[in-house]
Amino acid sequence: MAVASLLKKIELQERGFVNHPASKLDEETRINYLRGIALIANEDNDISKNEIEYLDILIKSLHLSHQQIKDILHFVKHPKAKSVYEIILTFQSNPVKYNFLLDSLAIADVDGHLDDEEEDLIEEYVSLLQITPQESEELYQIFHYLKKKEAEKLVELFAKSQFFKEEDFEYLINYYKLNLHIAKNFKRTDIKAFSFDFIKPHIRHGGLRDADELATHPINNFQFCLFLNAMYARELIEFDAENNIIATANKKLVLSKHNIHIQFKNNLFQPKRFTKKERLVYVSFNGALMFVEWLNELLDTQYKVTEIQSDKYDNLSVEEFHQYLVDGELYIQNGEYMTKTVKKGLLSLISHKKVELNYSSEHTCFRIMRKSSQN
């Protein structure tokens, strides 16, 4: 794309990144910073619309003029190896080089993938900037958690890091719309509220014995809200206020409107007053699967959920269900009627010895089983 055409496409955003670390550099170094980022965008000889938008934001953030933008675009269309090397050297000893690497990754991935040419140039930047292997690995991790919106893991990384702090990349955290405040309020000790010591249930007439620990220590509303807030921070679920349901971005149900104990207030899912310890009800099968995937991220012991495409389980009786019961460890209650799809999915898990299904006249219940060390 010609320089003139690129200039016509650039319309500066109303606001750039607030407090971008490179904005404090001298003018020459700011121009070189943007030249280096623009070279990544043009490495495949085509600056895409998404890449232009990211350059837009950086241009505004670094307080550059229209004439400087023109010079930068002309440079990336006619780069010289010596000039590129000299550009990198201007901030080789400045901590802003770490932001430069993340901005390079961000603009390279803005179209949803990293091209080989872009990745090779980024690796060259790593070498020229004298970023150590340990620093490079951690920066790549930070970028991975940013784009995957894994706020909890990002908080944990910054807490352990010897190199980087959250403030160093606050502008990118905002760009990727992560809410680290929610993640910080989640404590790994909260997971201990889940009991993994349920005894084997006794089935009588298709129901649970009253004294069974499974019947008295299910997952509660407070515990499930931890999961909901983690998913909401990643923009994987949304609250439909009109229908009072919680669903995924592609409209798959997570929690039914029949659950009246969980509310959405101040951008947080919260149990209503006095219902924190009450058992969770009306979670969908899809919601349970998401919950288990989330647990896998938090716990050292992995849980496994699989699903098979088979019709052979569609018409089993309650008694036949019991043939598949295995020792279970984690309990979720499904208060909705059990469709054939749900039945098939549950029995798939049971057949893989991952889930236990317990049936009573009032509720259909399933538990997620800890993955055996023998599997």
175, amino acid identity: Y
Number of H helices, E strands in the chain: 16, 10
Per-chain mean pLDDT for the chain? 70
HSE (side-chain half, CA atoms, 13 Å) at 357: 26
134-186 per-position pLDDT tens digit = 999 999 999 999 988 888 789 889 988 999 999 999 999 988 888 787 667 65
In this prediction, residue 295 carries a pLDDT of: 67
Q: Which residue segments constitute the domains of the chain, with CATH numbers given?
A: 3-131 (1.10.3680), 189-368 (no CATH)
Q: How far apart are CA 109 and CA 27, in angstroms?
A: 27
pLDDT at 22 over 90: yes
Task: Give the pLDDT band (50/70/90) at residue 217.
Answer: low
Segment 288-306 shows an average pLDDT of 59
pTM score, two decimals? Answer: 0.54
pLDDT at 43 over 70: yes
Q: What is the pLDDT of residues 80-113, one digit of tens each?
A: 777 778 888 888 899 999 999 999 999 999 988 7
Average pLDDT over residues 187-210: 36
Structure tokens at 288: 């349970």
Task: In whole angstroms, give the CA distance from residue 346 to residue 358.
Answer: 11
**What does the block give as tokens for 280?**
């969770």
Burial of residue 163, with CB atoms counted within 10 A of its CB: 0-12 exposed, 13-18 middle, 19 or more buried: middle
pLDDT digits (tens, 9 = 90+) for 322-373: 333 332 222 333 333 334 444 444 445 444 444 444 433 333 344 444 444 4
Contact between 314 and 169 under an 8 Å Cβ cutoff? The reply is no
